[in-house]
Amino acid sequence: MEFKNIRTVKHRSWTKFIASFPLELCDDNCLENERFLFRGQGDVNYKLISSFDRQFEKTDISERVRKYQRVVKHFTRLYKERVDQNAPPEVVLSAAQHYGLPTRLLDWSSNPFVAAYFAFSFAALRNQRKGSVAIWSIDLRSKLIHEDLGLNVFKARGNTRASAQHGYFSNLTGLHDNLEDYAEDCQRQNQPLLTRFILPVSEARNAFSYLNSVGFNSFSLFPDTLGLANGALEAEWLEAGPI
């Protein structure tokens, strides 16, 4: 099913995806210009919904937004009192996301291979052996990215993990709890805000092999002990087969 401002592209193989996805996004050097950001999800059925909205999904959205604003206010006060009194809002929110506070942020990367790694890694860490993963892209040139409409995007700052992952965040500021509904409710654009690339989980071995060969793996993207733990779980998942 196609949605307004969202395009879906399906690929049967990792090789086909690698060969085709840049031209399926645009016909110029848009990847070099960082026009698009990317996000990987280990299950194609998962919505682009934040940890905060998922955790408080039974709360009315209006009250949920107010609750989130209070949480951010409290965290900002504590962060400025105890860490950095001059920290700008982007640094404060980046820290909140990094250290596990439920936020309305979603992680993105300017590098599509980072997103691809996370798509298959999420499947591995959940022991998912059937179905499909999704690699999403968001077009930074879209007029729908505007705080007055309810969506902004900013670069992740303040920690080595964000830097290693070329990290960015999207932030829904209005009365939508997921990006698909936001895109659907906005006025139709000439170019989609979101593109979803779908690949079968069975392509995990090919994807991991390729990504590792170009320097994207658990150790490079999590430059700490968590990277070792994730790498061990991914290896066991692949060896348990069949993938």
Residue-level pLDDT at 195: 97
Residue 75's pLDDT is what? 97
Residue 1: pLDDT above 80? no
Residues 48 and 233: their CA atoms lie apart, in Å, by: 25
Q: What is the pLDDT of residues 160-209, one digit of tens each?
A: 888 889 999 999 999 999 999 999 999 999 999 999 999 999 999 999 99
Residue 33 pLDDT greater than 80, yes or no: no
Tokens of 78: 């504590």
Greater confidence (223 vs 114) lies with: 114
Please provide the distance, in angstroms rounded to a whole number, between the alpha carbons at the two ends of the chain: 27
In sign, the C-alpha dihedral spanning 94, 216, 127, 230 is: negative
Report the pLDDT averaged over residues 236-240.
86
Q: Would you say 154 and 200 are in contact if contact means Cβ atoms under 8 Å apart?
A: no
- Measured in degrees and rounded to the nearest 5, phi and psi for residue 26 equal -165, 170
* pLDDT > 90 fraction of the chain, expressed in percent and rounded: 75
98 has pLDDT over 60? yes
Is pLDDT at 83 greater than 80 in this prediction? Answer: yes
pLDDT of the residue at 202: 94
Q: Say whether pLDDT at 242 is over 70.
A: no
pLDDT at 31 over 90: no
Write down the pLDDT at residue 2.
Answer: 61
pTM: 0.92
